[in-house]
Structure 1
Amino acid sequence: MNVPFPATLPRDAATEAGGVPLGDLPEWNLDDLYTAQDAPELKRDLDWLEEACASFATDYEGKLADLDASALLDCVRRYEKIDLIAGRIMSFAGLRYYQHTTDAERAKFMSDMQDKITTFTTPLVFFSLEFNRIPDERYDALMAENAELARYKPVFDRMRAMKPYQLSDELEKFLHDQSVVGSSAWNKLFDETIAGLSFEVEGETFGIEATLNLLSEQDRAKREAGARALAETFQSRLPLFARVHNTLAKEKEIEDRWRGLPTPQTGRHLVNHVEPEVVEALRNAVVNAYPRLSHRYYKLKAKWLGLDTLQVWDRNAPLPMEETRIVGWDEARKLVSDAYAGFDPRMAELAEPFFTDGWIDAGVKEGKAPGAFAHPTVVDVHPYVMLNYLGKPRDVMTLAHELGHGVHQRLAAGQGELLSSTPLTLAETASVFGEMLTFRKMLSEAKDPQQKKVMLAGKVEDMINTVVRQIAFYDFECKLHQARRGGELTPDDINALWMSVQAESLGPVFEFMDGYETFWAYIPHFVHSPFYVYAYAFGDGLVNALYAVYEEGTPGFEEKYFEMLKAGGSKHHKELLAPFGLNASDPAFWDKGLSMIEGFIDELEAME
């Protein structure tokens, strides 16, 4: 079932960043889902869902193998409608909850909806299990018999990829039922803990988002104070964070062992519909490029900052020549909209309702989940974007990124509920492409070489954070899950695993303050979606290669690009990239993407 990503809150008439007005920041209007938690439409849908799940099981359990193609198509369409209604309910509950994760009423509503939908949908567990028991010859014949049924084949193929790893019907139902007090409960504990943290910085108290924001302040003393406050608070809650990671990693290991999954990463690769060797090629290409990318760039940055060594609070520091400038909301909106329109007017048109119709929640608020995301909700509504907008140039890039997701999700909605969802490896395509369009537009408008240098450096840092940092995260997760198989991990054990990848990825120019070893504690992807992080590097490398094709002036690129986004999850990455002459299975593909980052660093060195 469709479950939302983390999400936001109400706005002030004029929200400020450090005393500087940002303008009138938008907030969500969730009425397109439901008008309130006691809305009659919500009760109607819950009642419908309970009955629909029960009747679906009555009509089809034990009978899938005997259905002809036409009857199976009816079955799949009924399943899709159930998925849509359940997704609508959980989207509403999830988005309200992430607006204010420390609000007890919202947390209760979210839990109640999770419990109800888990209970209602437990009778559906048989569907994938029985479908996977249909013999291959019979399956192929059904697909050949009915074109409308065959349209769902990508969904079925992904489902059948789990065939060797599925358990008995009783165990699968137990795991489904038990999830509300298993991983999802630990996820919620993590979210509420993070949202409730406070950080003391020079006599003031901040939430996590504002404290992390201090790490990109111009004043080095402020950056250091922010980093030390983060370390102090993380250290004080480290046993809890270690318990969350130990429990989730052990739970995953138990389920993987029962299923016979060969590695902790296998489940993620299957969901992403990507071959393990493709991920390994990506990982190896990035790790081999560390010296040419992050090590080389950060050595340059140390020189610009007038330092022999960098501390962790210097990693995202602005350059000395960089203007300390806050970008108001209206300016950010215009920058991104113009960049999208410059590529194709349809892109800007698809993005416009996010600004005008309450599809974005931008303000930083107490209890609001940190970070940013675009949640697709369901295909008969629209996506919602969450930001924590503070007016930094990087926040403009985040807006461009999340709007790219939103545009992608709107275009893919035409595939229907089951086929619209894009594997994570491809889900970052439009978001990173949207960032690149916005960056190129801003770069073309740079007033002088110094401003161009600042912008190039910022882009390189963003790409390093997306590629190098995420692959380092992936390696950390691989080590963490492997180590947990040997027994309980102490906080010090996890700290040591974190530092082993940080030093390797960031390079010899860095020193690491006491306390930085705890910074694994706040990364939500490790908790919510193990091994998700390589999708960012996959997406960035893919888009860099794609953008190179665009810059070459390939005829019909825009139309091919829109067709790729409209495909949603209906095609494998090989099919989607073939019209552009690209193949992610070719190790040279990743070098092509990484060479774009290298080229930017070459430009920066040439400016010295």
Structure 2
Amino acid sequence: MTSHVRPNGINIRRGIVVAADSAATSAATTELGDLPTWRLEDLYDSRDGAALKADLDSATERARNFEAAWKGKLTDAAQKTGAQGLGPAIAEYDELDDLFGKIGSYAGLTYFSDTSNPANGKFYGDVQAKLTDLSSHLLFFALELNRIDDAVIDAAIARDPAVAHYQPWIVDLRKDKPFQLEDKLEQLFLDKSMTSAAAFNRLFDETMADLRFEVDGEKQSLEITLNMLQEPDPEVRAKAAAALSATFKDNLRVFTLITNTLAKDKAISDRWRGFDDIADSRHLANRVERETVDALAAAVKDAYPRLSHRYYAMKAKWLGMETMNFWDRNAPLPETPNAVIPWADAKDTVLSAYGAFSPEMADIARRFFDEQWIDAPARPGKAPGAFAHPVVPSAHPYVLVNYLGKPRDVMTLAHELGHGVHQVLAGGQGALMCQTPLTLAETASVFGEMLTFRALLEKTKDKKERKAMLAQKVEDMINTVVRQIAFYEFERKVHTARKEGELTADQIGELWLSVQEESLGPAIKISEGYETWWTYIPHFIHSPFYVYAYAFGDCLVNSLYAVYQNAAPGFQDKYFDLLKAGGSKHYSELLKPFGLDASDPAFWSKGLSMIESLIDELEALDKA
């Protein structure tokens, strides 16, 4: 493909939220306690500082020198050892990947700290442009390496330990070989990236950050408005939904343009590279077979009646409704505790759950709190959603959340810290091999959530509180599995339809409603206004077809957790080996020690059955 140099963007996870208004933030901070902000000085002291300038200068000089030293010489190098062999070349490329990633991460994290600040936007854009230009000096490396005969590469790996060290990366790289273009076209794709997909990604982010939603005469952010959908008062939920629909509708034109442009841009890239299916480029990036994803999607869709349809019918009855409005989907049960959870309690909850599984895991997670690797407050202009960004092995990850003290916020914290622990452990693989494919990228995060949930559930003896907790977990799992597969099916429909021409907002809305009605079932009433709610999902924009990774990860962790519950000997050690592997092994190889095989249809059924068993438990509690 174009390059294996680390991308400079940051993937937003766990849905999308936008920072609260300042008054709400101030009130929330008082109730929540001291919320940490991250310490970006660990990367660079400032955007104008000498350290960043020195690294940019170094990156420029080293990239040019690397091209001069190795371009056109890799076939010859593959037949040598020592200083003239491939080993030093790949090692230098690895170091450059780390350096570029550190610079790009600092710019990205600065920007996402406050996307409304024009200076942050300019800094981020300028750094992205600079790194893209410098990447042009490195573009040749992966392309030229892939043109070397397999027999020559195999011999180099067998002969030279310095090359053998990078064998997993080389083998992985060569999977891109059938889809790479000749050098000038790859250069064009790289040069145009800043003014094509990246530009529309930024337009989406900045548009979302600026949106305000009017409820009872007060304009507020998306995060606050979405939070109102979890309020006990049905009238409050209805007003919030109306405000969301109204603002989404007012901005349909720009979101429709972004969606059409990015879908067309992807189709052009896929056509030039020779991908057969609209999602094949994502499957390749994930190092997962299309058949495995198809089997997952089919298993989840087949389970809709047993999972979401059944659960929402039960919930409607608990809420005293025949059918729920679409804005009632995440409404709390009457039994749900309403107290705000202070930050200190959330920290203790997650760390104790992690520590009960593995003291080492808790120690790694504790560093995020102690060393200011977390940004927690909701504030104007702050990035939407929540994410854990790995940065680079020579530095450390950072976690962003928008913490408002809801039980789901505690689970989000557990989720993102799971990513953070994974990223710390995988860092030992180096910049080129630490990046975990999305098939396993959600493993540690979902496992961290599960540990936290199980720890809380075990402490809960009150029947009503237990019911509320189980219901919330079931809803989270439905959102992670059923909803994400519905998102995946929506994306497939949009990208397929876009091949026939530009789509109107109404057409996109119809596709959205078709998958929502199928996945939610007859207990959810889909009414006017919901047809615009596709607009705020960031994954459709930043990472097309990413969403099935959540379902993949949830089902995988359900199966993995079942192995853990059965007290499999040495589970913790095997689990840490999985996390430490990063991207150095295929997911199938990493699952073998646990006796799991994702190519087996029964694997997905086993994962889905855990969700079904929690619904069974809820039903039993209801009848008791």
**What TM-score results when the alignment is normalised by the length of structure 2?**
0.95
Aligned AA (2:42): D
Deviation at 1:154?
2.2
Aligned AA (1:98): F
* Map of 1:5 onto structure 2: 10
Matched, 1:21 2:31: yes
Matched, 1:251 2:265: yes
More off after superposition, 322-331 vs 431-440: 322-331
Deviation at 1:129?
1.1
Aligned AA (1:482): T
* Map of 1:463 onto structure 2: 477
Matched, 1:498 2:512: yes
Which of 529, 535, 539 lines up with 1:521 in the alignment?
535
d(CA) in 1 for partners of 2:578, 2:378: 34
Aligned AA (2:199): A
User: 1:607 is paired with a residue of what secondary structure?
Assistant: helix
* Map of 2:15 onto structure 1: none
Aligned AA (2:485): I
d(CA) in 1 for partners of 2:617, 2:221: 38
Aligned AA (1:320): P
Matched, 1:416 2:416: no
d(CA) in 1 for partners of 2:322, 2:583: 48
Which of 58, 70, 74 lines up with 1:64 in the alignment?
74
Aligned AA (2:52): L
Aligned AA (1:33): L
Q: Contact 2:335–2:467 at 8 Å: present in 1 too?
A: no
1:329-372 deviation line (CA, Å, top 9, x unaligned):
00000000100001011111001111111100011111112210
Alpha-carbon spacing, 1:262–1:458, altered in 2? closer, same or farther (3 Å): same
d(CA) in 2 for partners of 1:117, 1:322: 49
* Map of 1:321 onto structure 2: 335
User: 1:251 is paired with a residue of what secondary structure?
Assistant: helix
Deviation at 1:66?
1.2
d(CA) in 1 for partners of 2:26, 2:138: 48
Aligned AA (2:420): G
More off after superposition, 3-12 vs 213-222: 3-12
1:268-327 deviation line (CA, Å, top 9, x unaligned):
111111111111111111010000000000000001000001111111100012121210
Aligned AA (2:213): F
User: 1:144 is paired with a residue of what secondary structure?
Assistant: helix
d(CA) in 2 for partners of 1:463, 1:156: 36
Matched, 1:33 2:40: no
Matched, 1:54 2:64: yes
The answer for unaligned runs of 5 or more in structure 2 is: 13-17
* Map of 1:171 onto structure 2: 185
Alpha-carbon spacing, 1:454–1:99, altered in 2? closer, same or farther (3 Å): same
Which of 49, 52, 58 lines up with 1:42 in the alignment?
52
1:41-72 deviation line (CA, Å, top 9, x unaligned):
10011011111111111111111111125410
User: 2:137 is paired with a residue of what secondary structure?
Assistant: helix
Which of 293, 297, 321 lines up with 1:307 in the alignment?
321
d(CA) in 1 for partners of 2:308, 2:246: 27
Deviation at 1:150?
2.1
Q: Contact 2:278–2:495 at 8 Å: present in 1 too?
A: yes
Q: CA RMSD in A?
A: 1.6
Alpha-carbon spacing, 1:78–1:10, altered in 2? closer, same or farther (3 Å): farther
Which of 454, 476, 484 lines up with 1:440 in the alignment?
454
Question: Aligned residues: percent identity?
Answer: 56
Which of 100, 119, 125 lines up with 2:139 in the alignment?
125
More off after superposition, 288-297 vs 216-225: 216-225
* Map of 1:86 onto structure 2: 100
1:373-394 deviation line (CA, Å, top 9, x unaligned):
0000010111100000010000
Alpha-carbon spacing, 1:240–1:13, altered in 2? closer, same or farther (3 Å): closer
* Map of 1:398 onto structure 2: 412
1:108-157 deviation line (CA, Å, top 9, x unaligned):
00000011111111121111111111111112111212233223222222
More off after superposition, 414-423 vs 159-168: 159-168
Q: Contact 1:69–1:143 at 8 Å: present in 2 too?
A: no
1:177-221 deviation line (CA, Å, top 9, x unaligned):
111111111100000000010110111111111111111111111
Deviation at 1:587?
1.0
Q: Contact 2:19–2:383 at 8 Å: present in 1 too?
A: no
Alpha-carbon spacing, 1:529–1:66, altered in 2? closer, same or farther (3 Å): same
d(CA) in 1 for partners of 2:135, 2:524: 51
d(CA) in 1 for partners of 2:29, 2:360: 36
d(CA) in 2 for partners of 1:84, 1:217: 44
* Map of 1:272 onto structure 2: 286
Deviation at 1:6?
5.2
* Map of 1:102 onto structure 2: 116
